[in-house]
């Protein structure tokens, strides 16, 4: 791999690693300090909600201003925020500062994610976009997996405020890697004139593209189905493995590690192979739905493991399909604002799945809830395909008649 490409992916890995360490330690520190699950849950809500809500405006910012500059701001300001939070803790004490820090860093992380989304289609000239996405997902997934492990190790030897300073150091290293990439890369990104409004007009444009472009409606519908399964799997995996099947915590940790390894192997395979985009989407969506049915109907741990690995492994393959297709159809000048809105819409079904688990798991059973959502995922997938084919057929007939 070229040095400039490696520097970009290294920056992505370091930034994700730092972000995941912070995500891991905040609910943990709150729980250890308050001994309250409710406060820990509230802390997670406070740090995660701004991440989702800020996607549209962060996307609009990436269209209006140079995305590389926004990426630098995201990384440097997160490092500065970590230092300020530790200083405030040293002066006033309390854990409010780390919760506020996580909320602020959540928004800045979204800003960085959107900036990378905007620049990646243009900076890897020697790779196909599918290959670029595969390598970026590997860097992202590796940071995702190592974050909690590194956080646990650091908390064994340091107090949490020293860990936060270490997180600041990782953000600065990520920015240094980006600076190296800029110096060794000859890429010049095109900029587009934008409206002054950063809220209503970008939303109008984004929803206009979603309304007009059949491919966007299709992938949003499919992503809603996939995220229902991802959401119910995240919400129930611990309860299923430890509670329903009676396995131990080490078994659950092993399952998570196996899921991470499976995901990385599939991404490496995608980076080496060239598969048709339709096959990529159909295969990943089908196997995720199959995995959901297996986890819902399996009578033992072995079957559940197979279903779980299908879900988490092929989720990233679907992600590559989804991101490749949207990059092909969204106009470059509106890419950031449109992706921001799409990302917000896609992620709404994950908390919905968690809410359904909370409401229905006790009266009907956890496996029945998973089965219900597996059926919903299958129906959504079939419905989206039928509607898309019908709308495409109507468009072709209309074009033929007008010609």
Helix (H, G, I), strand (E, B) or coil at 46: helix
Query: Same domain for 301 and 263?
Result: yes
Domain range holding 165? 1-130+143-184
Grouping H, G, I as helix, E, B as strand and the rest as coil, residue 353 is helix
Would you tell me the crossing angle of helices 301-329 and 129-157 to the nearest 10 degrees?
A: 130
2 & 149 share domain: yes
Render pLDDT for 349-371 as a digit per residue (tens, 0 to 9): 877 887 788 788 888 888 998 99
CA distances, 302 to each of 128, 259, 298 (Å): 37, 14, 8
| pLDDT band at 95; cut points 50, 70, 90 | confident
Domain membership flag for residue 202: no
**Same-domain status, 180 and 217:** no
Whether the CB-CB separation of 43 and 327 falls below 8 Å is answered with no
Examine residue 90 and state whether it is found in any structural domain, yes or no.
yes
Residue 108 domain-assigned?
Answer: yes
C-alpha closest to that of 113 among 361, 319, 307, 333 = 319
Residue 205 within any structural domain of the chain? no
Q: Are residues 276 and 379 in the same domain?
A: yes
Inside any domain, residue 136? no
Per the structure, the count of domains in the chain is: 2
Percent share of the chain, pLDDT over 70: 90
Same domain, 246 and 153: no
pLDDT tens readout for residues 133-182: 888 888 888 888 788 788 888 888 999 899 999 999 999 999 999 999 98
The verdict on 392 and 272 lying in the same domain is yes
Instruction: Give yes or no for residue 284 having a pLDDT over 90.
Output: yes
The reply to whether 273 and 393 lie within a common domain is yes
Domain-embedded: residue 91: yes
Residue 79 lies in a domain: yes
Identify the CATH number of the domain in which residue 16 sits. Answer: 1.20.1250.20
């Amino acid at each position: 791999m070229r040095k400039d490409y490696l520097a970009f992916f290294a920056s992505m890995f370091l930034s994700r690693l730092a972000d995941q360490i912070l995500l891991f330690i905040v609910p943990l520190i709150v729980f250890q300090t308050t001994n309250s699950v409710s406060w820990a849950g509230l802390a997670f809500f406070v740090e995660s909600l701004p991440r989702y809500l800020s996607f549209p405006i962060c996307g609009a910012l990436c269209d209006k201003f140079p995305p590389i500059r926004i990426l630098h701001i995201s990384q440097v300001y997160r490092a500065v925020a970590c230092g300020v939070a530790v200083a405030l803790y040293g002066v006033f004490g309390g854990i409010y500062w780390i919760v506020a820090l996580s909320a602020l860093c959540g928004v800045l992380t979204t800003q960085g994610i959107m900036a990378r989304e905007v620049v990646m289609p243009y900076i890897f000239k020697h790779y196909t976009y599918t290959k670029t996405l595969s390598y970026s997902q590997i860097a992202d997934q590796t940071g995702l997996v190592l974050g909690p492990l590194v956080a646990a190790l650091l908390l064994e030897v340091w107090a949490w405020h020293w860990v936060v300073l270490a997180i600041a150091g990782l953000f600065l290293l990520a920015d240094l890697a980006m600076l190296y990439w800029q110096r060794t890369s000859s890429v010049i990104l095109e900029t587009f004139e934008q409206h002054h409004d950063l809220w209503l007009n970008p939303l109008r444009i984004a929803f206009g593209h979603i309304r007009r472009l059949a491919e966007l409606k299709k992938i949003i519908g499919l992503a809603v189905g996939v995220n229902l399964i991802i959401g119910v799997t995240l919400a129930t995996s611990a309860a299923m493995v430890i509670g329903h099947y009676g396995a131990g915590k080490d078994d659950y940790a092993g399952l998570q590690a196996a899921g991470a390894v499976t995901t990385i192997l599939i991404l490496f395979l995608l980076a080496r192979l060239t598969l048709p985009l339709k096959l990529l989407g159909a295969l990943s969506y089908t196997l995720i739905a199959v995995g959901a049915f297996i986890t819902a109907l399996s009578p033992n741990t072995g079957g559940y493991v197979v279903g779980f690995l299908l879900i988490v492994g092929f989720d990233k393959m679907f992600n590559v399909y989804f991101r490749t297709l949207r990059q092909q159809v969204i106009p470059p000048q509106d890419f950031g604002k449109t992706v921001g809105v799409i990302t917000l819409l896609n992620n709404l079904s994950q908390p919905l799945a968690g809410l359904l688990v909370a409401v229905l798991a006790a009266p009907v059973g956890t496996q029945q809830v998973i089965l219900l959502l597996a059926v919903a995922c299958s129906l959504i997938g079939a419905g989206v395909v039928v509607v898309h084919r019908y709308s495409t057929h109507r468009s072709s007939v209309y074009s033929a008649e007008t010609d």
